[in-house]
Amino acid sequence: MDYIALGLICEELEAVDSTLRVVMSVHMGLNSLGLLQWGTEEQKQRFLIPQGRGEKVGCFGLTEAGAGSDVAAILSTARRQGSEYLLNGEKMWISLATKAHHCLWVARTNPQAADPHDGLSAFLVEMDRPGITAGDLHGKLGMRAGSTGWIAAQDVRIPEENRIGEEGEGFKIAMSCLDNGRYTVAAGATGLIRACLEASVRYAHERNAFGREIGKFQLVQQKISTMVQSYDAARLLYLRAGWMKNQGTRNTRETSLAKWFATDASFQAASEAVQIHGAYGYSDEYDVERYLRNSKGAVIYEGTSEIHQLMQAGYALGYREDASLRCELPAYEPEAWQS
């Protein structure tokens, strides 16, 4: 299937459950498409093919306790020792940490690099390697059905064949993985807006106040019309990004815009959906309270809204250009993908 199909699947999944969509975002968006773009033939055979068959699951390890938006602050290290690397450090807030078979781990290989971004490299780290431990984080606001956790590495031996791309390409690889992950988040958040809209329309017909159904009140209509507007706009933004991906065209700006808009709009839509449901919306009797809790996560992960605002301003003002991250994008090729 192509990128548009991936988006539509994510939209449909999140219209029902955000956690299921997160599995697609992490396993497909951040990990598998990264492997498709950057993996060697041998890595594709070893990791990507079983992932495509659904036999193995991949996760994405970028964030650390002190490095979220600021990727250059990554402290985990992969020190070269002959044909191996010795991996040490800890990843935090990793989706599927305790479920995945391997982690696409971004670590520092050159602490002396003048620009810290250039000192990062990416590795495929099997979760059953000696020295790897992982656990789930508890007490999350939303996404409670899913695993979000930590992964620690203590003197873990990683063969050179598990490095993706060249040494020093870790930042570029991570950012291109995010281009795909963010696309799936944008599509998913669009599905969440639709779920809020459908729940709100249903309830606006059911609930009566002052002798009429609440859908007749213009202030309720205003909330519903904003959801309609957000849904169509979010959908068109992610479909544009998906179309560009199919062509193999650089889409960092368009994907960032789609992700920022859809996630902010889904949080807003969920908040208004709770409002339309009144006190019942404030309880778990209706799904909208779950929509509200889940929608907040997407405003934070895969680039906070603030980071996307900075990116968009950077493009508009001419401070940002993607040439420094130039890379071959995996355009949709039906025959190659099917084989």
Ligand X SMILES: Cc1cc2nc3c(=O)[nH]c(=O)nc-3n(C[C@H](O)[C@H](O)[C@H](O)COP(=O)(O)OP(=O)(O)OC[C@H]3O[C@@H](n4cnc5c(N)ncnc54)[C@H](O)[C@@H]3O)c2cc1C
Q: How many residues bind ligand X (CB under 6 A)?
A: 22
The Cα–Cα gap between 294 and 301 comes to: 11
In the chain, which ranges are continuous DSSP H helix?
3-16, 18-23, 33-38, 41-43, 49-52, 170-206, 218-247, 252-276, 278-281, 288-300, 305-317, 334-338
Residue 122 or 214: the one with the smaller Cβ distance to ligand X is 122
Residue 143 touching ligand X (CB under 6 A)? yes
Pick the binder of ligand X from 37, 63, 176, 266 (CB under 6 A). Answer: 63
In the bound complex, which residue of the shown chain has the CB atom lying closest to ligand X?
68
Which span (65-73, 116-124, 160-168, 326-334) binds ligand X, by CB under 6 A?
65-73
CB of 264 to ligand X, least distance (A): 12
CB of 301 to ligand X, least distance (A): 4
DSSP 67: B
Neighbours of 42 (CB within 10 A): 9
Which span (224-232, 240-248, 266-274, 296-304) binds ligand X, by CB under 6 A?
296-304
Site string for ligand X, 224-253 (x = CB under 6 A): ------------------------------
Give, to the nearest 10 degrees, the angle between helix 170-206 and helix 218-247: 150
Residue 61 touching ligand X (CB under 6 A)? yes
- What is the DSSP secondary-structure string of 16-59? H-HHHHHHIIIIIIIIIHHHHHH--HHHIIIIIHHHHTTS--EE
Pick the binder of ligand X from 301, 308, 311, 330 (CB under 6 A). Answer: 301
CB of 161 to ligand X, least distance (A): 23
Residue 69 touching ligand X (CB under 6 A)? yes
Site string for ligand X, 3-42 (x = CB under 6 A): -----------------------x----------------
Residue 13 or 26: the one with the smaller Cβ distance to ligand X is 26
Known active-site residue 272: no
Which span (192-200, 203-211, 281-289, 299-307) binds ligand X, by CB under 6 A?
299-307
The Cα–Cα gap between 141 and 332 comes to: 37
H or E, element range at 69 = none
Site string for ligand X, 90-109 (x = CB under 6 A): ---xxx--------------
Residue 300 touching ligand X (CB under 6 A)? yes
Catalytic residue among 289, 302, 333, 335: 302
CB of 153 to ligand X, least distance (A): 14
Q: Please name the residues in contact with 297: beta carbons below 8 A apart, sequence gap of 6 or more.
A: 18, 140, 141, 142, 143
Tokens for 168, please give them: 């020093």
Residue 139 or 334: the one with the smaller Cβ distance to ligand X is 139
Q: Where in 257-286 is the site for ligand X (CB under 6 A)? A: none
H or E, element range at 208 = strand 208-209
Q: How far separated are the first and last CA of the chain, in Å rounded?
A: 12
Q: Please name the residues in contact with 94: beta carbons below 8 A apart, sequence gap of 6 or more.
A: 59, 60, 61, 63, 103, 148, 149, 150, 151
CA distances from 153 to 35, 70, 117, 199 (A): 22, 21, 21, 44
Q: What is the largest CA-CA distance in the chain?
A: 79
CB of 54 to ligand X, least distance (A): 19
The Cα–Cα gap between 47 and 111 comes to: 29
Catalytic residues: 302
Residues interacting with ligand X, by CB under 6 A?
A: 26, 59-63, 68-70, 93-95, 143, 148, 297, 300-302, 304, 306-307, 310
